[in-house]
């Protein structure tokens, strides 16, 4: 839904400000990832020396950036939607679709991921799981912990959007001529 139609609430402003700051921090992960890729390529093709820990670090940094960035992307409305149809709809229709999408699809999906990812991480932690590759990275549970953390961040972004959509549909009577 077009951001200009959604009024902010006090809580959504706070959540969105926190997410914007988090997004700035997360964007640094992509710079580090780029540096690791360059070093890994140089080592492999210039010095003929491959390093498994650098390859795994690449995968881990990408996973962290992606998972932690989900909520930031949702908050910034940078996620994928079918804009060809969406842009032709009235703001109120867009808001209703957003409301039902959040309540029927997004919140249950987030709940399922959180319910099943926490035991997944705890099991990895209890087993002391490490990379199966020789020379791979230890603390596999730490990278797996980014799954529930990322979805908690996404949940915050969804709550912020839900507050804004709810306010637009049910509390912003002047905007709709009620």
CB–CB of 75/20 below 8 Å?
Answer: yes
- pLDDT at 141 exceeding the cut of 60: yes
Strand (E) or helix (H) holding 136: none
CB 145 within 8 A of CB 118: no
Residue 177 has pLDDT above 50, yes or no: no
Q: pLDDT, tens digit, for every residue of 8-58?
A: 889 999 999 999 999 999 999 999 999 999 999 999 999 988 888 899 999
Q: In what helix (H) or strand (E) does residue 172 lie, and over which residues does it extend?
A: none
How many domains are contained in the chain? 1
**Arithmetic mean of pLDDT over the chain:** 89
3-state helix, strand, coil in the chain (%, to 5): 80, 0, 20
* Average pLDDT for 136-150: 91
- H helix count then E strand count, the chain: 7, 0
Domain that holds residue 53: 3-176
pLDDT band (50, 70, 90) for residue 175: low
């Amino acid at each position: 839904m077009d951001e200009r139609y959604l009024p902010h609430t006090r809580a959504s402003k706070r959540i969105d400000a926190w997410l914007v700051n988090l997004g700035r921090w997360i964007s640094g992960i992509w710079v580090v990832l780029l540096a690791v890729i360059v070093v890994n390529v140089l080592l492999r093709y210039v010095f003929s020396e491959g390093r498994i820990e650098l390859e795994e670090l690449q995968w881990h940094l990408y996973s962290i950036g992606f998972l932690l960035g989900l909520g930031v992307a949702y908050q910034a409305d940078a996620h994928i939607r079918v804009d060809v149809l969406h842009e032709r709809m009235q703001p109120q229709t867009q808001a209703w679709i957003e409301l039902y999408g959040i309540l029927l699809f997004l919140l249950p999906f987030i709940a399922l991921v959180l319910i099943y990812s926490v035991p997944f991480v705890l099991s990895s932690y209890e087993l002391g799981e490490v990379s199966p590759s020789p020379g791979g990275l230890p603390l596999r549970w730490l990278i797996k912990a980014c799954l529930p953390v990322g979805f908690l961040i996404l949940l915050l972004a969804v709550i912020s959007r839900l507050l804004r959509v709810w306010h637009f549909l049910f509390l912003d009577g002047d905007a709709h001529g009620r």
